[in-house]
Amino acid sequence: MSQASLFGDNSDVEPSFEVFTLPDAQLRYCEHYYDRTVADQLFDRLRQEVAWQQHSIRIAGIVRAQPRLSAWYGDKDAQYSYSGLQLQPIPWTATLDELRQQVEKSCNTRFNSVLLNLYRDQQDSMGWHADDEKELGPCPTIASLSFGATRDFLIKHKIDTQLKRKIALAHGSLLVMEGEMQSHWLHAIAKQKDLIGPRLNLTFRQIYSSNRS
């Protein structure tokens, strides 16, 4: 793939995706979407540039601090809500906008927002959930970039919970969830026992306004 000026001048090479065969889902993964040098640069740049916060969400009626830092960037009308949390988008930075354009090209999909999560160590996590909020539409495409420490991406079917999969998301990788995956599957990032460094994740999304025709 072609890297723009912020991240170096690499050759124009299409990403090579591994496609996973799963019922009720479309899932593909490119382990080396960015090479190590570019991934290192992006990891450092995003940790410094992003306006990280620790949000609180409501789970089963109880307000809890999220076990990670996060930030929401996007177009001005890309408002997003989940678990009682109302997110107003921060305007795109040059870095995030360039990443968006590259991922849009690879996915052939338009994105107007990105949720960033910073897992500071092995104790930070993301519980089981599906990205099935109404603002995302019925069959959303969600593109997930990962930088930093490798963490396991866990998925399980909502009905047949014996259907499970684990994917190690590497530094500089891109995972794309498409089709009806959010309707039929849950995903999570679990805590780990072993010491591990920070990991940074970006999930690009298309948010639809509630007043769309």
Find where tokens 């290192």 sit.
40
Of 158, 149, 166, nearest to 200 by C-alpha is 149
pLDDT, tens digit, 9 for 90 and up, residues 135-180: 999 999 999 999 999 999 999 999 998 999 999 999 999 999 999 9
Residue 130 lies in a domain: yes
For residue 210, is it within any domain?
no
For residue 208, give every residue at least 6 positions away whose Cβ sits within 8 Å of its Cβ, in sequence order, or none.
Answer: 135, 136, 137
Identify whether 13 is part of a domain.
no
Q: What residues make up the domain containing 102?
A: 18-205
Q: Look up the CATH number of the domain holding residue 38.
A: 2.60.120.590
Say how many domains are in the chain: 1
> Which pair of tokens denotes residue 167?
């994917």
Q: Please report which confidence band the pLDDT of residue 126 belongs to, taking 50, 70 and 90 as the band edges.
A: very high
Produce one character per residue of 119-157: b if its CB has 16 or more CB atoms within 10 Å, e if not. bbebebebeeebbbbebbeeebbbbbbbbbbebebbbbb
Element at 74 (helix H, strand E): strand 69-74
Q: Is 187 part of a structural domain of the chain?
A: yes
Distance, in Å, from the CA atom of 67 to the CA atom of 119, rounded to the nearest integer, reads 8
| pLDDT computed for residue 161 by the predictor | 87
- Is residue 96, in this structure, part of any structural domain at all? yes
- Is 38 within a domain? yes
pLDDT number for residue 60: 74
Does residue 45 fall inside a structural domain?
A: yes
Is residue 67 domain-resident? Answer: yes
Q: 36-56: per-residue pLDDT in tens?
A: 999 999 999 999 999 999 988
Q: Three-state SS for 59?
A: strand
Say if residue 80's pLDDT is above 90. Answer: no
Q: What percent of the chain has pLDDT over 70?
A: 92
- Confidence band (pLDDT; 50, 70, 90) for 5? low
CB-based contact 29:167 (threshold 8 Å): yes
Q: How many residues does the chain have?
A: 213
